Amino acid sequence: MPSLIDLMLEGRAVEQHRPWPRAVVDAAVWNFAARELAHGRWSLLGLWGEPTAVHMAIIDGQTAEIAVVSLDCPDRIYPSVGLHHPPALRLERSIRDLYGLSAEGLPDTRPWLDHDQWGVRFPLGGRIDAPPGAAPYRFLTAEGHGMHQIAVGPVHAGIIEPGHFRFTASGETVVRLEQRLGYTHKGIEGLMTGASLERAAKLAGRVSGDSTVAYAYAFSRAAEAALQLVVPDRAVWLRALLAELERLANHLGDIGAICNDASFSLMQAHCSVLRESVLRASHSAFGHRLLRDVIVPGGVARDISEEGAEAIQAALDNIRLRFPALIELYDNTASLQDRTVDTGVLTSALARQYAAGGTVGRASGRSFDARRSLAYPPYDSLRFEIPVLTEGDVNARVWIRVREVEQSLALIDQILSRLPPGPLGTHAAHRREPREGMAIVEGFRGDVLVWLRVHDGLIERCHLRDPSWFQWPLLEAVIENNIVADFPLCNKSFNCSYSGQDL
Binding residues for another protein (CB under 8 A): 148-152, 156-159, 172, 259, 261-266, 269-270, 273, 333, 335-336, 338-339, 483-488
Sequence-distant (≥ 6) Cβ neighbours of residue 321 within 8 angstroms: none
Tell me the C-alpha distance between 315 and 269, whole Å: 17
Residue 341 beta carbon to another protein: minimum distance, rounded to whole angstroms: 11
| Nearest residue (CB) to another protein, 9 versus 485 | 485
| Nearest residue (CB) to another protein, 266 versus 410 | 266
Tell me the C-alpha distance between 90 and 30, whole Å: 18
| Nearest residue (CB) to another protein, 35 versus 156 | 156
DSSP code at position 467: G
| Nearest residue (CB) to another protein, 170 versus 426 | 170
Residue 265 beta carbon to another protein: minimum distance, rounded to whole angstroms: 6
| Nearest residue (CB) to another protein, 273 versus 388 | 273
What φ, ψ does residue 460 adopt, rounded to 5°? Answer: -90, -35
CB count, 10 Å around CB of 137? 13
Residue 200 beta carbon to another protein: minimum distance, rounded to whole angstroms: 36
| Nearest residue (CB) to another protein, 189 versus 486 | 486
Taking alpha carbons only, the member of 69, 112, 43 closest to residue 501 is 112
Residue 185 beta carbon to another protein: minimum distance, rounded to whole angstroms: 24
Residue 487 beta carbon to another protein: minimum distance, rounded to whole angstroms: 5
Tell me the C-alpha distance between 271 and 254, whole Å: 9
| Nearest residue (CB) to another protein, 20 versus 330 | 330
**E-strand spans in 257-315?**
295-296, 299-300
| Nearest residue (CB) to another protein, 46 versus 253 | 253
Q: Cα dist. 103→69, 76, 90, 304, 489 in Å?
A: 16, 9, 11, 48, 35
Residue 261 beta carbon to another protein: minimum distance, rounded to whole angstroms: 6
Q: Are 93 and 74 in contact (CB under 8 A)?
A: no
Q: State which amino acid sits at residue 135.
A: A
Sequence-distant (≥ 6) Cβ neighbours of residue 101 within 8 angstroms: 49, 52, 54, 73, 76, 77, 78, 95, 125
| Nearest residue (CB) to another protein, 335 versus 417 | 335
Residue 263 beta carbon to another protein: minimum distance, rounded to whole angstroms: 4
Residue 150 beta carbon to another protein: minimum distance, rounded to whole angstroms: 4
Residue 160 beta carbon to another protein: minimum distance, rounded to whole angstroms: 8
Q: Cα dist. 64→67, 99, 330, 368, 471 in Å?
A: 10, 30, 36, 9, 20
Q: Are 183 and 163 in contact (CB under 8 A)?
A: yes
Residue 466 beta carbon to another protein: minimum distance, rounded to whole angstroms: 24
| Nearest residue (CB) to another protein, 123 versus 253 | 253
SS (H, E, C) 166-230: EEEEECCEEEEEEEECCCCCCCHHHHHCCCEHHHHHHHHCCCCHHHHHHHHHHHHHHHHHHHCCC
Q: State which amino acid sits at residue 345.
A: V
